[in-house]
A and B are shown apart, each in its own frame.
Chain A
Amino acid sequence: MEIFNIKNLSFTYNTSDKKAVNSINMTVSSGDFLLVIGQSGCGKTTLLKMLKKELTPFGKKEGEIFYKGKNIELLNERESAQSIGFIMQDPDSQIVTDKVYSELAFGLENLGYDKEVIRAKVSEFASCFGFLESFDSSVDKLSGGEKQMLNLASVMALNPEVIILDEPTSMLDPISANDFFSTLKRINNDFGTTVIISEHHLQEVFHLADRVVCLENGEITALDTPKNVCKSLKGKKIMKTLPAPARVFNSVKAYGECPITVKEGRKMLSSIALNRNKISSEELKNDDVILSCKNIWFRYERKSKDILKNCSFNVNKGEFYALLGENGCGKSTLLNIINGSLKPYRGKIKCDLKSAYLPQNPKNVFVKDTLEQDFKMIDNSYLELSEQFGLSDFLKTHPYDLSGGELQRASICKILLSNPDILLLDEPTKGLDTFAKINLGSFLKQLCKKGLTIVMVTHDVEFSAEFSDRCGLLFDGGITSENSVREFFSQNIFYTTSASKMSKGMIENAVTADDIIGCING
Chain B
Amino acid sequence: MSIEELSIDPGLAAPPRRSPFRKLLRDPQAVITASLLLVIVLLGLLTPFIAPHDPNEAQLSAINADPGTPGYPLGADQNGRDIMSRLLHSINTSMISGLIGASVALAIGITFGLIGGYFGSRLRSVTEWVFSLVMTFPGILLLIVLMPVTKGDYRFTMLIFGVLLSPGIYRIVRNLVVGVKNELYVDAARVAGLSNLRILARHVLFVIRGPIIIAAAFLFGGAISVQAGLAFLGVGSTLVPSFGAMISEGFLNLYIDPMQFLWPSVLLGVITASLVLLGNSLRDAFEGVKLKPAKIAAPKVEQVAGRAESRPSDALLEVDDLVIAYPTPSGKLNEVVKGVTLRVNAGETVGLVGESGSGKTQTAFAILGVLPAEAVIVRGSIRLEGRNLIGLSERELRQLRGRSIAYIPQEPMSNLDPSYTVGAQLVEGIRATTGLSKREARERVLALLKRVGIQDPKRTFDSYPHQISGGMAQRVLIAGAVASRPKLLIADEPTTALDVTVQAEILDLLRDLQAELDMAVVLVTHNFGVVADICDRIAVMQNGQVVESGTALEVFREPKHPYTQKLLGAILDEATVRTDPPVSAGALAGGTTR
> Do A and B interact with each other, yes or no?
no
Which residues of A pack against B, CB within 8 Å? none
